[in-house]
A and B are shown apart, each in its own frame.
Chain A
Amino acid sequence: MRTPISYFLLVSALLFTIGTVGVLVRRNALIIFMSIELQLNAVNLALVAFSRQNGNLTGQVLAFFSMVVAAAEVVVGLAIIVSLYRKRRSADVDDASLLKG
């Protein structure tokens, strides 16, 4: 193992940021959702990297839980997007601004 763990962390940071920027700049609800998935995965990477660094499996367990929860979240989230689309004929999150003050 020659690769320093911090490299993985930096990759994780970059991916997370890319995901964040994606959430901020994209309007398509599905792509925003994908960006969120990217963020989650970036965090998973960081968790597994920490697990490696600390020499125990806790980080991997946490990443495992994160994946399971992500699966549940995707299912519900996509259902919401589908019903949003049925209502508004659009997957643009800017169109769903009912809460505008």
Chain B
Amino acid sequence: MNILAPFIPAIPLAGAAVLLLTGPRWRDRSAGWLASAAVAVAFGLAVTVFGTLVSRPVTLRLSHVSLFEWIGVGSFRVDIAFRVDPLSTVMALTVTGVGAMIHLYAVDYMRGDPRYARFFAYMNLFVFFMLVLVLADNYLLLYVGWEGVGLCSYLLIGFWFERKTAADAAKKAFVTTRIGDSALLIGLIFMWSRFGSLDFDRVLPHAHALANGTATVMAMLLFAGAVGKSAQLPLHVWLPDAMEGPTPVSALIHAATMVTAGVYLVVRSHQIFEASGVALTIVAVVGLVTAIYAGLSAIGQDDIKRMLAYSTISQLGFMFFGAGMGAYSAAIFLLVAHAFFKAVLFLGAGSVMHALPDEETDMTRMGGLRRAMPLTAVTWVVGWLAMAGIPPLSGFFAKDQVVAAASQAGRIGLWYAALFGALLTALYETRGTFLTFFGEPRHRGHPHDPPSLMRTALVSLAVGAALAGVLGLSATSGLLPKFLTPVVGPTKEAVAGPSELVLSIISVAVALVGILTAWLVYLSGRIDWMALRVRFASAKRTFQRGFYVNDFYSGAIVGPAKLAAAFVAYVVDRRVVDGTLTGIGRLVSSSAGAARRAQTGLVRTYAVGILLGATAVLGYLVVRS
């Protein structure tokens, strides 16, 4: 049944093609239904493939489906080939499953948009590229998906391109991720120069033979790509701005596609990172710093979607941290769980925006929405608790495993930091929840729950977010870790620290502390949080502006870059390049000016020339004979 694997991406592609070519002909919501159906079918296929995979013995859970030779230059050969193994299957399931729900949600959410069909075409394309990315059997095809995802993010973030902010955000996302993409491309070239191939099977098994430094360089180049795509420090700036796109797009980017690509890449290439050693540590540190940084920034956000965006950054930080700790299955587990609860949260936020006048996103003007929108509030609460790490919801198990990995690896400092990050997670997420759904209403209008279709999506995802925890009840013997073992190897045995149970209790305690703190500040009424905002205005602004990273970039990088560009444009291009060219032109034209004197325009002058030539030729002939 693995022959079905190529169809998983092919069906969304077909959907996109149909919608792009015949877009305006689709009436009402039919385009949305078609797109959702395409993703749903892809999900069904993924399930089928998953089923076949599970039915096999563990050692045989890998197959390749090669469609055709794509590039064949000398010894260099790249196929359009898909890889079916536990990791890619899990990713495909996540992408299609969550993606299908988001599509379904969007069917109603986007209703009435003048470019309805185009939106779904882009969405389908987005899913297609993401599936290509995760199912690819070689790095080059992965890179195709990688770039395609970037393209689709550009198209979708800037979907409402009439708004300058949206267009700018789209550009920013594209350019920022391109920095990472370029590094990745360089990394691939470097990889090819070392291995002579880009197939996973011909690269990864031999990675351990690499020299330490080489491996580090290669790993860092790949990681740079991951940092760009997954919005880690210092390339995270595009993600908060990406909120300019329609909310389903944000959900898709954050939950199912795009940002998880980086984590997938690191996990997929973990052999290279391991060969370096230091690279994994860098990944962990970057992830952790990002997690804490984004957590702090999230606390400062008033905009509900920006808050969620920073939360995504922080959660991704946790994933990288997990991967850096060597807990790959934990990272993937968190990725899957995160896909569910972040989708719930985003779609919930979308529902709130949908319900409030003028697409309100400022949480200070919400509050008490749980009465008006009970279902949304319930699903949101599920997402909130899952994210905060309250058992038995999925987030608890996933984050617990990631955090515990540090302790079990004996890296106590990192563990403390990770706990702090988890505390922050609970804190900011609770804050968002309380500000939005609890307390006194501060909003205008008469909000209500979204239509049934959106509700269906919300509920399904909430159920997923609640139950996904069963996949990895235990880091060593959970379903997912065991399933992933053929790819990422068995979960490392704990070498230090307290037992798993103790660690779990500590985790829950930390989460509760965060929640309580938030309750104290934002809900109990004992503290006037509005006054607090004024009092600590500078800190608040620092958080809100993400520690001014963005401003630093525009000052330190964009400004000089613009200056340099101006220099190139007005000095180098105009003087040197144009000068050379116009110089050549002037030379030609002045020599032509001299030569054109011969062109009198008078026929008789030319006739003299003819006669001169005739006389000369005849003279030569006469003299010679």
With A20-B611, A24-B611 known as contacts, the answer to whether A93 contacts B604 (CB < 8 A) is yes
Residues of A within 8 A of B595 (CB): 101
Q: How far does the alpha carbon of A97 sit from the alpha carbon of B601 in the complex, in Å?
A: 4
Q: Residues of A contacting B597 with CB < 8 Å? A: 101
Measured between C-beta atoms, what is the minimum distance from A53 to chain B in Å? 18
Which residues in A have their C-beta under 8 angstroms from that of B608? 24
- Pairwise interchain contact B598-A101, C-beta atoms closer than 8 A: yes
Which of B598, B602, B611 is the most central at the interface, judged by chain A CB atoms within 10 Å of its CB? B602
Q: Which of A27-75 contact B (CB under 8 A)?
A: 27, 32
Number of interface residues of B (CB under 8 A): 13
Tell me which residues across on chain A come within 8 A of B604, comparing CB atoms. Answer: 23-25, 27, 32, 93-94
- Cβ of A37 to closest chain B Cβ, rounded Å: 15
Residue in chain B with minimal CB distance to A36:
B607
> How far is it, in angstroms, between the C-alpha of A32 and the C-alpha of B611 when the chains are bound?
15
Residues in A whose Cβ lies below 8 Å from that of B601: 96-101
> When A93-B602, A94-B602, A97-B601 are in contact, do A23 and B596 touch as well, CB less than 8 Å?
no
Q: Shortest Cβ distance from B316 into chain A, in angstroms?
A: 70
Chain B residues whose CB sits within 8 angstroms of the CB of A27 once the complex forms? 604
* Chain B proximity of A88: nearest CB distance (Å): 13
In contact, A97 and B611 (Cβ under 8 angstroms): no
Give the CA-CA distance A101 to B603 in the complex, in Å: 13
Nearest Cβ distance between residue A28 and chain B, in whole angstroms? 11
Interface code A74-101, partner B: CB below 8 Å = 1, 0 otherwise?
A: 0000000000000000000110111111
On chain B, the residues within 8 Å of A100 by CB distance are 599-602
CB B214 to nearest CB in A, in angstroms, measures 65
> Which residues in window 556-611 of B have CB below 8 A to A?
595-604, 607-608, 611
**Chain A positions within 8 Å of B611 at CB level:** 20, 24
Task: Fill in one digit per residue for B302-326: 1 if any A CB lies within 8 Å of its CB, else 0.
Answer: 0000000000000000000000000
Q: How close is A33's CB to chain B, nearest CB, in angstroms?
A: 11
Chain A min CB distance to B590 (Å): 13
For the complex, give the distance between the alpha carbons of A94 and B605 in Å. 10
Over the window 159-187 of chain B, the binary record of Cβ atoms lying under 8 Å from chain A Cβ atoms (1 yes, 0 no) is 00000000000000000000000000000
| Complex CA–CA separation, A31 to B604 (angstroms) | 13
With a cutoff of 8 Å between Cβ atoms, the chain B residues found around residue A20 in the complex are: 611
Q: Which residues of A contact B598 (CB under 8 A)?
A: 101
Which residues of the partner chain A approach B600 to less than 8 Å between Cβ atoms? 97, 100-101
Residues of A within 8 A of B607 (CB): 23-24
Instruction: Select from chain B the residue with minimum beta-carbon distance to A20.
Output: B611
- Quick check: B596 and A97 within 8 Å, CB to CB? no
CB-based nearest A residue for B593: A101
Q: How many angstroms from the CA of A98 to the CA of B607 in the assembled complex? A: 16
Complex Cα spacing A45 to B598, Å: 35
A24-B597 Cα distance, complex, nearest whole Å: 19
Bound complex: CA of A23 vs CA of B607, how far in Å? 8
Taking the closest CB of chain A, its distance from the CB of B591, in whole angstroms, is 12
Across-interface contacts of B599 in A (CB, < 8 A): 99-101
Indicate the member of A25, A94, A96 with the most B CB atoms within 10 Å: A94
Closest residue of B by beta carbon distance from A100? B601
Q: How far is the CA of A28 from the CA of B333 in the complex (A)?
A: 98
**Whole-angstrom CA separation of A43 from B445 in the bound complex:** 105
A61 → B minimal CB distance (Å): 25
Taken together as a complex, chains A and B put the C-alpha atoms of A32 and B604 apart, in Å, by: 9
- Which residues of A, 2-37, contact B by the 8 Å Cβ criterion? 20, 23-25, 27, 32
Q: Look across to chain A and name the residue whose beta carbon is closest to the beta carbon of B597.
A: A101
Find out whether the CB atom of A101 lies under 8 angstroms from the CB atom of B602. Answer: no
Q: CB-CB < 8 A to A101: which residues of B?
A: 595-601
Tell me how far the C-beta of B88 lies from the nearest C-beta in chain A, rounded to whole angstroms: 71
Give the residues in chain B near A98, CB-CB below 8 Å: 601
Distance A101 CA – B600 CA, assembled complex (angstroms): 6
Q: A101 to B611: give the CA distance in the assembly, Å.
A: 21
Interchain nearest-CB distance for B593 vs A (Å)? 8
Give the nearest-CB partner of A97 in chain B: B601
Interface residues of B in 120-162 (CB under 8 A from A): none
Chain B residues lying within 8 Å of A93, measured Cβ to Cβ, are 602-604
How far apart sit A96 and B604, CA to CA, in the bound complex (Å)? Answer: 11
Q: In the bound complex, what is the Cα–Cα distance between A60 and B597 (angstroms)?
A: 43
Closest chain A CB from B20 CB (angstroms): 54
| Chain B residues with CB under 8 A of A94 | 602, 604
- Which residues of A are found within 8 Å of B602, using beta-carbon distances? 93-94, 97, 100
Report A90 CB to chain B, min CB distance, Å.
14
Q: How far is the CA of A101 from the CA of B604 in the complex (A)?
A: 15
B19 to chain A, nearest CB (A): 59
B contact residues around A97 at 8 Å (CB): 600-602
CA distance A20 to B365 in the complex (A): 100
Tell me the bound Cα distance from A29 to B600 in angstroms: 17
Distance in angstroms between the alpha carbons of A25 and B611 in the assembled complex: 13
A27 to B605, CA, bound (A): 11
Q: How far is the CA of A96 from the CA of B611 in the complex (A)?
A: 21
Closest chain-B Cβ to A92's Cβ sits at a distance in Å of 10
The residue in chain B whose Cβ has the minimal distance to the Cβ of A98 is: B601
A98 to B601, CA, bound (A): 6
Q: B606: nearest residue on chain A (CB-CB)?
A: A99
The CA of A24 and the CA of B610, in the complex, are separated in Å by: 10
Instruction: Select the residue from B597, B599, B603 with max chain A CB neighbours within 10 A.
Output: B603
Q: How far is the CA of A98 from the CA of B599 in the complex (A)?
A: 10
Q: How far is the CA of A97 from the CA of B600 in the complex (A)?
A: 7
Distance between B510 CB and nearest chain A CB, rounded to angstroms: 89
Task: Please measure, in the bound complex, the distance between the C-alpha atom of A58 and the C-alpha atom of B601, giving whole angstroms.
Answer: 39
Complex alpha-carbon distance, A70 and B67, angstroms: 72
Across-interface contacts of B596 in A (CB, < 8 A) = 101
User: Within the assembled complex, what's the spacing in Å between the Cα atoms of A24 and B608?
Assistant: 7
Which of B597, B604, B608, B611 has the most chain A CB atoms closer than 10 A to its own CB? B604
User: What's the minimum C-beta distance from B613 to chain A, rounded to whole angstroms?
Assistant: 12
Residues from chain A with Cβ under 8 Å of B603 in the complex: 32, 93, 96
Which partner residue on chain B sits nearest A99 by CB separation?
B601
Given A101-B596, A101-B597, 7 new contacts (CB under 8 A): A23-B607, A24-B607, A24-B608, A32-B604, A93-B603, A101-B598, A101-B599
* List of 3 A-B pairs having minimum Cβ-Cβ separation, nearest first: A101-B596, A100-B601, A101-B599
Can you spell out 11 A-B residue pairs with CB atoms less than 8 angstroms apart? A23-B604, A24-B607, A25-B604, A27-B604, A94-B602, A96-B601, A96-B603, A97-B601, A101-B596, A101-B599, A101-B600
